[in-house]
Amino acid sequence: MNYVFGPVPSRRLGQSLGIDTIPLKTCNWNCVYCQLGRTMPLTNERREYVLDENILFEVERALRSHKSGGIDWVTFVGSGEPTLHIYLGEIIRRVKKMTPLPVAVITNGSLLYLPEVREELSAADAVLPTLDAGNAELYRKINRPHPQITFERLVDGLINFRKEYRGKLWVEVMLVRGLNDTTQALEEIAKILQRVKPDAVHINLPTRPPVETWVQPTDDEGLMRAMSILGNIAEVVHPAEGSFDLSGYENIVDAVISIITRHPMRQDELERTLTRWSAGQVSKALSELEASGRAQVVERNGVRFWSAAPSHYPQK
């Protein structure tokens, strides 16, 4: 499987079957906390990065092999920004025809200013866009967007989408210490959220390896501040524990690559996840992948993570 993975555990979406519509790492943002490395180069071009028929073929196969249950949501998420796929709306609609399961899209929300993108996402049951900043300067500092997607466009897109969209709108805020966890920064985000009126606000922390070495998650005080300023629809989302379904993979190498391309992980997490194989087999597979240039170790805040080799992480 190249475009479909899991189901993987998610705090918000239970066991979530992931659909990846774009190659690593295709994005119009270059967030300082991105766990997938730097975006090189930034692109804001919407096109058919992957043939939609190839994606749908894999989705159908995965749904068929889980007929008896085990999936709570089908989620568009993965190696970058899914709305850059020009046929995303068509793919969502065809997935909805295949299954009664709810469909979610995890997006940075930057293209919601385009009426056609709003229309495409309207077919989903839940949309989870990002809002990390309440002003243009902080937006450029944290999300480092493509020049075409300004802060005004991001905010307008969110507000217009909310007016038209009948599904669940859950806005995600990634809290980075010293950047958007101050009282002023949070109050500015809260002001925008009052205009957007999402159904929920999910507060996340950059606990996976952030691309920039200096990025730190906010501390307990910052979290409490965020909870009190962002209001009672805000909740902290901790990383989910649970099992990754790797039944679609014949061998350990494919399973490891599929996971670490989308979720860089510590070795002990990988050993717990890959229970079909022994810790020794996992360790051997990782060493071989590193030696052959397909995986790399990224160290952040004293913790070593395994990631796919094509991801770009600066050393300093």
15 scored as a contact of ligand SF4 (CB under 6 A) = no
Contact 112, 50 (CB under 8 A): no
Query: Using CB under 6 A, which residues numbered 62 to 91 contact ligand SF4?
Result: 80-81
Identify which of residues 110 and 258 has a Cβ nearer to ligand SF4 in the complex. 110
113 scored as a contact of ligand SF4 (CB under 6 A) = no
With CB under 6 A as the contact rule, the residue among 8, 31, 149, 286 that binds ligand SF4 is: 31
Least gap, CB of 169 to ligand SF4 (angstroms) = 17
CA 37 to chain centre: 13
Identify which of residues 27 and 185 has a Cβ nearer to ligand SF4 in the complex. 27
Identify which of residues 31 and 173 has a Cβ nearer to ligand SF4 in the complex. 31
30 scored as a contact of ligand SF4 (CB under 6 A) = yes
* Nearest of 158, 164, 77, 144 to residue 110 by alpha carbon: 158
Polymer length of the chain: 316
Task: Give Cβ neighbours of residue 271 (< 8 Å, ≥ 6 apart).
Answer: 279, 282, 283
With CB under 6 A as the contact rule, the residue among 13, 22, 27, 154 that binds ligand SF4 is: 27
Contact 46, 84 (CB under 8 A): yes
Least gap, CB of 97 to ligand SF4 (angstroms) = 28
With CB under 6 A as the contact rule, the residue among 3, 5, 29, 139 that binds ligand SF4 is: 29
Q: What totals of helices (H) and strands (E) does the chain contain, helices first?
A: 10, 10
192 scored as a contact of ligand SF4 (CB under 6 A) = no
In the numeric block, the tokens 């990025």 are attached to: 215
With CB under 6 A as the contact rule, the residue among 15, 21, 39, 180 that binds ligand SF4 is: 39
E strands within the chain?
4-10, 14-19, 73-76, 103-106, 126-128, 168-174, 200-204, 234-236, 295-300, 303-308
34 scored as a contact of ligand SF4 (CB under 6 A) = yes
Which two three-digit tokens encode residue 201?
């606000």
Stretch that binds ligand SF4, among 32-40, 92-100, 185-193, 214-222 (CB under 6 A): 32-40
At residue 73, the 3 state secondary structure works out as strand
Report the interface residues with ligand SF4, using CB under 6 A. Answer: 27, 29-31, 34, 36, 39, 80-81, 108
